[in-house]
Amino acid sequence: MNRIKPVIVLCLLCSINIVFAQPKTISQKVEALLKKMTLAEKIGQLNQYNGNWEATGPVTTDVGDKLDAIKHGEVGSVLNIVGVKHTRVFQEAAMQSRLKIPLLFGQDVIHGYSITFPIPLAEAASWDLSAIERSARIAATEAAAGGIHWTFAPMVDIARDPRWGRVMEGAGEDPYLGSLIATARVHGFQGKGLGNLDAVMACAKHFTAYGAAIGGRDYNSVDMSLRTLWEIYLPPFKAAVDAGVGTFMNSFNDLNGIPASGNHYLQTDILKGKWGFKGFIVSDWGSIGEMINHGYVKDNYQAAEVAINAGNDMDMESRSYINNLAKLVADKKVPIQRIDDAVRRILTKKYELGLFNDPYRFSDADREKHVMNTPESVAAARDVARKSIVLLKNEHNLLPLSKDLNSIALIGPLVKAKGEMKGFWSLNVGDESQIVSLYEGMQQAAGKSKLLYAKGCDITDTSKAGFDEAYKTAMQADVVIMAMGERPDMTGEAKSRSNIHLPGVQEELIKAISATGKPLVVLLMSGRPMVFNWTADHVPAILYTWWLGNQAGNAIADVLYGNYNPAAKLPITFPRTEGQIPIYYDHYNTGRPAHGDKDVNYTSAYIDLQNSPKYAFGYGLSYTTFGYSNLKFSKKSMAKDGEITVTFDLQNTGKYAGEEVAQLYLRQLVSQPVRPVKELKGFQKVMLQPGETKTISFTINKEKLAFYNDQLQRITQPGEFSLMIGSASDDIRLQDNFFLSH
């Protein structure tokens, strides 16, 4: 009897423990919650509505209906509701639902929230991973203080077609640079991890190959070999997974005939399968329903079936899920396990963000007031803005400007532009007084009394009525600075152009002002590479300034006056004309390569245009010059798992302190399948004082030599490699070969 008692007590304790055991880990909590959820509540979690703030597609309901739907547990996430006040209203509605599952608030925080940073393509030109990470960090800190949990960024689409309007939103054409920048941005947005009050969940988009839209026309089909997909378009997405990105967004395009939202191979086989991605996938805006237009499905019922079974977890604004999933489960077209898996992934993120502990933890009005536009953020915005400016030309060292100039003529349609400096995808910057125009930046740097101004012409208008005044203004000045370019809404979503020349009569105005014979600097503002051949060939100094955000004017003045020595390098090739597109540096050699720009005798060339671009990938000047010498290899042959260390000396051979982005390119000379003529495999941004020399080293290992074969296996092949080190993809300064043995 005495021996039985403790056993009974122990059993009792065990059963009490079983009955009252509290789930401890996030996974246990998710499973416990899932058990309580009805099918309708599960489907609600997969449904995302726009909050009627900024719509980039057709909106399906109005706010009143949405709050009602939220109270009924029919919505898991809302986009474009921002600010502590607004998000609180929506979260309070969610807290009235049966299970009180908090909402996720998402928005396109692409290059800043309150303070705007340079557009992503501009930041990519900095090749400065820590500056890029810092800009995302600040954007996240501000967005999180504004009630946002989730940004639909970074866009990591490789873009090789400057006609495509969204080229502004990514990191350019190169998978290596693009992967490093994807990592930096994910780290920046997610900070020390989800759950921290200054972190927002990132979203790698658009999965996938969206940037390869045929003809550069947004939303168009993509047709490419799977090998190109794996080699060029997937690496930045894989890098985002490795960096711990919380979510993915699929894309509007079809890839080889299969719309991305319904693509099982991409979403389930690659992303969730091979790459082991544990986060969730949201569709793009309405993209599930758009599979009807694609001609892939006949109605929303089939669209929902195909999308969920392909691995798409959340439906952004198409209503296909909310209206059809229950029936699809009843009809046994969608297994409940797939619904559970999608819900599980979404709930896990809500737990990781800490929303179940406190759904209002990102709704602190006091924090919201104090976090925005701090002096540190303003300084960081100016820093990354000037790091993004590319010096394309500087004949006779016209720049930097002398501080002794008496009068400076500022001419062009973008001199006094303020709001325009934000570029596309800046949804929340309301107060334009925070933005520094070129004119204001120059006022600060030079003093108002030295400045003369004439607009000259508009951006797209063809009137030349202002030319005369501009000419006269230029004639009175010691130097002329022209601010020319596109309108900011000429790049961005649905902003593709077939003609990427400097618009309107701007190049004619440049010609007219150039005729004054005054020293002339042209600033080009745009979200894409433009075509501006006359300017490139005749104007002595050109800076490509993109859209630089709030601190644009100060950053440009810093560069013009040499308070900052430009070091940016193009992350994308600039064509001579649209007829060369697509044009990129890492092409194959072909069987009949042209030797030089004049070799058109049955070679792979145009008879009416050179093959070379106007400005190559990796190109960008400095006010100083750099010398490369003394290339050394630790050995000339490596085994598959071995390494070679390569060193060289980089010297500042000019007058100014400055940074150089030294670039490493590799080419396997003989390989099956063939390899590109060169591929970026490393770079270092190095600061050097005048006369200073530093020894730089790169390590060559298996990873740098590997590629996908025609079976889509990542392999290395033994053989001879050419190693090239240079200042741009078309400015190789050091070169030698080495071998990979078996």
Q: Closest CB to ligand NOJ among 251 and 624? A: 251
- What span, in angstroms and rounded, lies between the C-alpha atoms of 680 and 6? 71
Place of tokens 């200073």: 692
Chain residue whose CB lies nearest ligand NOJ: 152
Residues 439-478, mask of contacts with ligand NOJ (x by CB under 6 A): ----------------------------------------
- For ligand NOJ, which residue of 127, 285, 564, 584 counts as binding (CB under 6 A)? 285
CB of 297 to ligand NOJ, least distance (A): 20
Q: Residue 310: what residue type?
A: A
Q: Which is nearer to ligand NOJ, 158 or 436 (CB)?
A: 158
Number of residues interacting with ligand NOJ: please give it, by CB under 6 A. Answer: 8
User: Shortest distance, CB of residue 253 to ligand NOJ, whole angstroms?
Assistant: 10
Return the closest-CA partner of residue 201 out of 211, 193, 209.
193
- In 10 A of CB 122, how many CB atoms? 30
47 contacts ligand NOJ (rule: CB under 6 A): no
- Between 108 and 486, name the residue whose CB sits nearer to ligand NOJ: 108
Span 482-511, contacts to ligand NOJ by CB under 6 A: 493
Question: Can you spell out the DSSP letters for 668-731?
Answer: ESS-SS---S-EEEEEEEEEE-TT-EEEEEEEE-HHHH-EE-TTS-EE---EEEEEEEEEETTE
Spatial CB neighbours of 201, under 8 Å, sequence gap ≥ 6: 104, 149, 150, 151, 189, 190, 194, 246, 247, 349, 353
Q: Of 66-125, which residues contact ligand NOJ (CB under 6 A)?
A: 79, 108
Which of the residues 379 through 398 are near ligand NOJ (CB under 6 A)?
Answer: none
The one among 150, 152, 207, 564 contacting ligand NOJ by CB under 6 A: 152
Catalytic: which of 108, 284, 313, 586?
284
114 versus 251: smaller Cβ distance to ligand NOJ: 251
Structure tokens given for 386: 């000037």
Instruction: State the Cα–Cα distance between residues 138 and 140, nearest whole angstrom.
Output: 5
For residue 636, how far is the Cα from the chain centroid? 37
User: Of 596-635, which residues contact ligand NOJ (CB under 6 A)?
Assistant: none
Report the distance separating Cα 511 and Cα 533, nearest Å.
12
Q: Is 133 an interacting residue with respect to ligand NOJ (CB under 6 A)?
A: no
Q: Considering the rule CB under 6 A, would residue 56 count as an interface residue with ligand NOJ?
A: yes
Peptide bond just before 582 cis, omega within 30 deg? yes
Q: What 3 state SS string does 570-604 have?
A: CCCCECCCHHHCCCCCCCCCCCCCCCCCCCCCCCC
Q: Would you say 79 or 322 has its CB closer to ligand NOJ?
A: 79
Backbone φ, ψ for residue 82 (5° rounding): -130, 160
Residue from 74, 128, 161, 284 that binds ligand NOJ (CB under 6 A)? 284
CA dist 163 → 168, 214, 486, 495 (Å): 10, 10, 13, 9
Question: Has 284 been annotated as catalytic?
Answer: yes
Please name the residues in contact with 358: beta carbons below 8 A apart, sequence gap of 6 or more.
none
Shortest distance in whole angstroms from residue 211 CB to ligand NOJ: 12
Task: Between 284 and 315, name the residue whose CB sits nearer to ligand NOJ.
Answer: 284
Q: Is 532 a residue that touches ligand NOJ (CB under 6 A)? A: no
Q: How far is CA 634 from CA 97, 369, 642, 648, 700, in A?
A: 66, 56, 11, 11, 10
Q: Is 205 one of the binding residues for ligand NOJ (CB under 6 A)? A: yes
- Closest approach, Cβ 101 to ligand NOJ, in A, equals 22
Q: Which is nearer to ligand NOJ, 108 or 679 (CB)?
A: 108
Contacts with ligand NOJ by CB under 6 A lie at 56, 79, 108, 152, 205, 284-285, 493
Active site residues per annotation: 284
